[in-house]
Amino acid sequence: MATEPKIRNLVKRAKKHDAEAFGEIYDKYVDQIFRYVYYKVGDYTEAQDLTGLTFLKAFENIDSYEFRDVAFSSWLYRIAHNLVVDHFRRQSRRETISIEEHPPMPSLEGNPDEDVFFKMDCERLYEALSKLTHNQREVIILKFIENLSNNQVAEIMGISVGAVKSTQKRGLMALHRILFDTRQT
């Protein structure tokens, strides 16, 4: 996967210890990485910490990134993914997502009724995501919240594109059952 020229240039500069270039990389990707981590850990403060650690690790290891088939954004997501996995290992707890804190949501800046319904829908989706398996949730978040391609998701998760498609299908079917099965109350 080709890296866009501007990012390629920023990475080259960052490899030469150009802090300003790395700052631009940070600005471009911090919101995406935070959102990804937040949906994985479900805790705002932990997500902030893990996002910061992702960029620290990226800065420390930028020399190891090579312009080959892996997009730079996929490399960052992979670092974040590994940190999230380590976080859960350290926590030694069953994989759950707290729904006490709400996921980051954009404001509609308009009709308050629409804003309330939008937030309710987001909360319902967030709760439903927490009921999926780890891999299903990972694929759904990367594909539909982060808008990444099947190839990028496969790179980040370390699985085949076929496995991404299969997991996506099972995850969407499970989400549909969770959200629309009227027998559940």
Tens digits of per-residue pLDDT, 103-127? 555 544 555 656 555 555 667 777 8
Element (H, E) at 137: helix 134-140
State the chain's mean pLDDT as an integer.
Answer: 80
CA distance 25 to 41: 23
Q: Hey, what CATH topology would domain 109-185 get?
A: Arc Repressor Mutant, subunit A (1.10.10)
pLDDT score recorded for residue 29: 93
pLDDT score recorded for residue 25: 93
The mean pLDDT of 138-154, rounded to a whole number, is 88
Q: What is the pTM of this model?
A: 0.66
Q: Are 79 and 30 in contact (CB under 8 A)?
A: no
Element (H, E) at 39: helix 19-41
Q: Where in the chain is the domain with CATH 1.10.10.10?
A: 109-185
Start-to-end C-alpha separation, the chain: 44
Question: pLDDT tens across 31-75, in order?
Answer: 999 988 888 887 888 889 999 999 999 999 988 888 776 788 889
pLDDT at 143 over 50: yes
**Pick from 154, 168, 163, 141: nearest CA to 78:** 154
Share of residues in the chain with pLDDT > 90 (%): 24
Q: What does the DSSP assignment read for 56-102?
A: HHHHHHGGG--SSSS-HHHHHHHHHHHHHHHHHHHHT-------SSP
Question: pLDDT tens across 121-139, in order?
Answer: 667 777 888 888 888 988 9
Residue indicated by tokens 């992979």: 78
pLDDT score recorded for residue 185: 47
CB atoms within 10 A of CB 134: 11
Q: Hey, what CATH topology would domain 1-93 get?
A: Rna Polymerase Sigma Factor; Chain: A (1.10.1740)
pLDDT score recorded for residue 2: 42
